[in-house]
Amino acid sequence: MATPAGLERWVQDELHSVLGLSERHVAQFLIGTAQRSASAEEFVQRLRDTDTLDLSGPARDFALRLWNKVPRKALVEKPARVAEREARALLEKNRSYKLLEDSEESSEETVGRAGSSLQKKRKKRKHLRKKCQEEEEEEEEISEKGKRKTGKQQTEKPESEDEWERSERERLQDLEERDAFAERVRQRDKDRTRNVLERSDKKAYEEAQKRLKMAEEDRKAMVPELRKKSRREYLAKREREKLEDLEAELADEEFLFGDVELSRHERRELKYKRRVRDLAREYRAAGEQEKLEATNRYHMPEETRGQPARAVDLVEEESGAPGEEQRRWEEARLGAASLKFGARDAASQEPKYQLVLEEEETIEFVRATQLQGDEVSPPPPTQAQQKESIQAVRRSLPVFPFREELLAAIADHQVLIIEGETGSGKTTQIPQYLFEEGYTKKGMKIACTQPRRVAAMSVAARVAREMGVKLGNEVGYSIRFEDCTSERTVLRYMTDGMLLREFLSEPDLASYSVVMVDEAHERTLHTDILFGLIKDVARFRPELKVLVASATLDTARFSTFFDDAPVFRIPGRRFPVDIFYTKAPEADYLEACVVSVLQIHVTQPPGDILVFLTGQEEIEAACEMLQDRCRRLGSKIRELLVLPIYANLPSDMQARIFQPTPPGARKVVVATNIAETSLTIEGIIYVLDPGFWNKQPTSFQISCINIASANQRAGRAGRVAAGKCFRLYTAWAYQHELEETTVPEIQRTSLGNVVLLLKSLGIHDLMHFDFLDPPPYETLLLALEQLYALGALNHLGELTTVRWEVITLPLTAYSCSEEILTVAAMLSVNNSIFYRPKDKVVHADNARVNFFLPGGDHLVLLNVYTQWAESGYSSQWCYENFVQFRSMRRARDVREQLEGLLERVEVGLSSCQGDYIRVRKAITAGYFYHTARLTRSGYRTVKQQQTVFIHPNSSLFEEQPRWLLYHELVLTTKEFMRQVLEIESSWLLEVAPHYYKAKELEDPHSKKMPKKIGKTREELG
């Protein structure tokens, strides 16, 4: 009988000889299946049902030999089962006996002995009932005994099960729980998604019926009021007519009978008529006066006491005249209360002052090159040009002359690479051409992906306006937590992440006829994954059209990836752009941006400005500096509107950049690289490019842009008119220091999220996934090991339910979710909590030390946020403690988002009530692989033995604890640990026994020398 290990090796060797491959889990699966099979034929049939092996020839012989070699346990019946079987057999035997009663004939013959026989019968029946009752009790006892034995057997079954079978059963149960939880989360997200469309067709019909019914009811209720109003108007008209008749009658009588002597009756009647006329006039005058007083609230009475008042010329009145001071005070108050629009009046008024910039305060630019455009001398952006018809704008785009050629190329090829300059119209026009060509018939849809949500929203609104339809009907957009589509939507603009979600519900994209991946040159993480998935779908859906649009010259790589797909180039841009460089590099590019904006605002013709910066913190600082300087300059410059735009900004705040600029003012849009592509901001003429961008948004790594991004930014100035691009670096730096293209995000980011995303999409063979630029092999293996250590993957590489609980499990185990949410939110603001003004360095350091708590920097951040919350989120508290209010406000927003995510994954909030040991253990459970310990040569990481140092700003810099946990490593002059936490080595074995061994956590310096008697020099020789 072969041992289990030897049998597994034999199966692997046979698999390699039969199939040409061998894998440990396949061998275990075959052995387990053979053990569960009652016969060799059953084993062969089970393998045939899996559709994985061709069981003919050597494979069948191998299966038969394997079934014979697999050890099977002998079916030994347990004593309890034998006793139960014998008891049931005895019961069935007893039931087969019947009681023979005396017949009626014999009882009639023995009438004389009726009394004795009746007593015998009663005795027999009593005995029968007693016997039946005993049998029933015995049966119940046997059944209860059988149930107990069965239950005991069921409880003992897992103990007797094979280890592999138990792990397989647990794995399948975990997969079921994972799928059920994912479905609940997906349904919860769907319920939370805001549907921008107000009503569907059915609801609109019901609403129309309701409005008609309400209109009918209003009409019925309105008729009596209309009758009253008509009656009043008729009476007023009759009153006027009667008064006119009376006045005409009196005039006739005075004209005809003025010289005639009248009788007493005639005089009395004439006097009565005049009296009635006078009363009617006074009544009408009083009514008009009442209406005037009701509207004006105050009516100046006329002067009737003598001569009219003298008109006073307030302008020429001397300053020393009586009442002059009171008059000026009233004018000042009235002027402050009146509503005035400075930008609207500034165009017609002459400037009171003229701002003269000093030469040392300006930045000198040198014009170097020009990006050519189709319109060499475009007219200035006047109001007539802004009111140009939409169809004329569509015809003026560079893509319009190539419409027929483009549609023919799409019809002839399944995959087409489209290269076009920024502003050529490929994003807005190509989906419309496909819609007009009939690619949306039979209920099919066209999908166009954008890398950012604001781009998807703005482009969808633009296309809906060009097509003359309401946004959300034929044209709509879909971003996370906001869906502006309906049943009639055929053109769907969406983020690339939303298209990945479509793969979860529709893996073959059967409802789409065309998929257009726009802005492919940005090479975002989701875009690279989409390339591999769409390439796979296109192979078994020949009718699906795939369009990859890029604005750079790196289209050959895309063509090679999609099996040498053809490239369609759209030449030309609409307007030329002049490129300016600085004569010398700038030391502070943020200050240079602010100065350049004011310089352009004062010296250049009208036109809006677009400034590119690296992140949210820089954008907010630049906006504050611009607003402060404009406030100090006052009326010396025209009005300047400063508008930020970045990814974390709410959608309604992002939409402000698309609002038209007021006349006489200038708009400045301060943006990240979110505005490089797909955003057409009306009126942008000037672009300011400092030459930097945030390479890694999660860790704030600022680096130089590449040549492709620089050209993209310059192209923003040539979308609506001839523009200028001011680059805050030299022409030599552009030619020699900038790279050609950017490094794909998938090669410079942590691959943990990538692995989770691909596993969620059902892709398990990550090593052989068709990436456009594969990530490093070692990095992918490291991500898999890390996820396995966290419990997110099982031994087969499948997602587990713990994947959804990787973050939430420590929170529920240690009951400190509120504190961990606060720490995570404070860590997300990029170490910008405290600030040190140069003139108050000592006070700032003392204020920071006051927040220190024993345990580490995480508890310091928790203490800062807790005290700020107790102060009522006060900005004055932040000012007094040298804490940045803007960062704290951002941390509060992040905490609210994290709280919503915990609710999404069904985790409640709890607090540790000041027990910081639980907080430190919970952080250790999530970052147990970021640990270091103190050695004689300094701190070294536990696993990689890398030399690291505590950051000088840490609260533990002077304490030097033996064991540390760090949030991140920062490489400057040394490898510094930032945001460190003091831990104990026993916690690592408690939270991660699968990752650490006790031997790794032993302190070699704590060992003592053995107590032995040493040898003398003579003994040693």
pLDDT greater at residue 782 or residue 532? 532
- Residue 37 CA to residue 858 CA, distance in Å, equals 57
Minimal CA–CA distance to 574: which of 388, 376, 390?
376
Give the pLDDT confidence of 636-657 residue by residue, as tens digits.
888 889 998 887 676 667 778 8
What domains are defined for the chain? Answer: 4-69 (no CATH), 399-570 (3.40.50.300), 577-737 (3.40.50.300), 751-790 (no CATH), 804-1000 (no CATH)
- Residue 910 CA to residue 762 CA, distance in Å, equals 35
Average pLDDT over residues 692-705: 63
pLDDT > 90? residue 447: yes
Q: At what angle do helices 885-904 and 857-870 cross, to 10 degrees?
A: 100
- Residue 659 CA to residue 792 CA, distance in Å, equals 46
Give the pLDDT confidence of 913-933 residue by residue, as tens digits.
888 888 998 888 888 888 998
pLDDT > 70? residue 437: yes
pLDDT > 90? residue 73: no
Neighbours of 685 (CB within 10 A): 26
What pLDDT, on a 0 to 100 scale, did the predictor assign at position 319?
Answer: 44
**Per-residue buried b or exposed e for 829-868, using 16+ beta carbons within 10 Å of the residue's own CB:** bebebbeeeeeeeeebeebbeebeeebbbbbbbbbbbeeb
Burial of 891 (0-12, 13-18, 19+ CB in 10 A): buried
Strand 975-982 and strand 947-950: the pairing is parallel
- CA 45 vs CA 50, 477, 669, 916: distances in Å: 9, 51, 70, 60
pLDDT > 80? residue 322: no
Structure tokens, 425: 């119209």
Structure tokens, 119: 């007593």
What pLDDT, on a 0 to 100 scale, did the predictor assign at position 610?
Answer: 92
- Residue 515 CA to residue 161 CA, distance in Å, equals 51
Average pLDDT over residues 46-52: 75
Quote the DSSP letter at residue 775.
Answer: P
Give the bridge partners for 420, in sequence order. Answer: 570
pLDDT > 80? residue 422: no
Minimal CA–CA distance to 800: which of 178, 67, 72?
178
Quote the DSSP letter at residue 660.
Answer: P
440 contact partners, CB below 8 Å, separation of at least 6? 434, 446, 490, 491, 513
**Scanning the structure block, which residue is given the tokens 């913190």?**
617
Burial of 715 (0-12, 13-18, 19+ CB in 10 A): buried
What is the enclosing helix (H) or strand (E) of 689? Answer: strand 684-689
- CA 613 vs CA 247, 439, 525, 643: distances in Å: 82, 40, 22, 13
Neighbours of 996 (CB within 10 A): 20
450 neighbors 678 (Cβ within 8 angstroms): yes
Highest-pLDDT range among 23-37, 625-639, 640-654, 762-776? 625-639
910 neighbors 817 (Cβ within 8 angstroms): yes
Q: Which amino acid is at 974?
A: K
* Helix spans in 725-871 (H): 731-736, 752-760, 777-790, 808-814, 817-827, 841-849, 857-870
Phi, psi of 639 (to 5 degrees): -65, 140
Burial of 358 (0-12, 13-18, 19+ CB in 10 A): exposed
579 contact partners, CB below 8 Å, separation of at least 6? 367, 368, 369, 370, 371, 714, 725, 727
Minimal CA–CA distance to 693: which of 745, 730, 735?
745
Q: Which amino acid is at 282?
A: E
pLDDT > 60? residue 472: yes
pLDDT-derived band at 351, boundaries 50, 70, 90: very low
Average pLDDT over residues 468-474: 87
Q: 3-state DSSP: the chain helix, strand, coil percent, rounded to 5?
A: 55, 15, 35
* 139-143, 281-285, 767-771: least confidently modelled range: 139-143
Quote the DSSP letter at residue 564.
Answer: S
pLDDT-derived band at 491, boundaries 50, 70, 90: very high
Give the pLDDT confidence of 90-132 residue by residue, as tens digits.
777 666 655 544 444 444 444 444 444 445 444 445 454 555 5
What is the enclosing helix (H) or strand (E) of 905? Answer: none
Give the pLDDT confidence of 789-806 residue by residue, as tens digits.
777 777 777 777 654 454
What is the enclosing helix (H) or strand (E) of 321? Answer: none
Give the bridge partners for 671, in sequence order. Answer: 612, 645
For the chain, the residue count is: 1021
883 neighbors 833 (Cβ within 8 angstroms): yes
Cα-to-chain-centroid distance, residue 975:
33
* 169-178, 403-412, 430-439: least confidently modelled range: 169-178
pTM: 0.56
Structure tokens, 365: 């630019």
607 neighbors 721 (Cβ within 8 angstroms): yes
- Residue 820 CA to residue 916 CA, distance in Å, equals 11
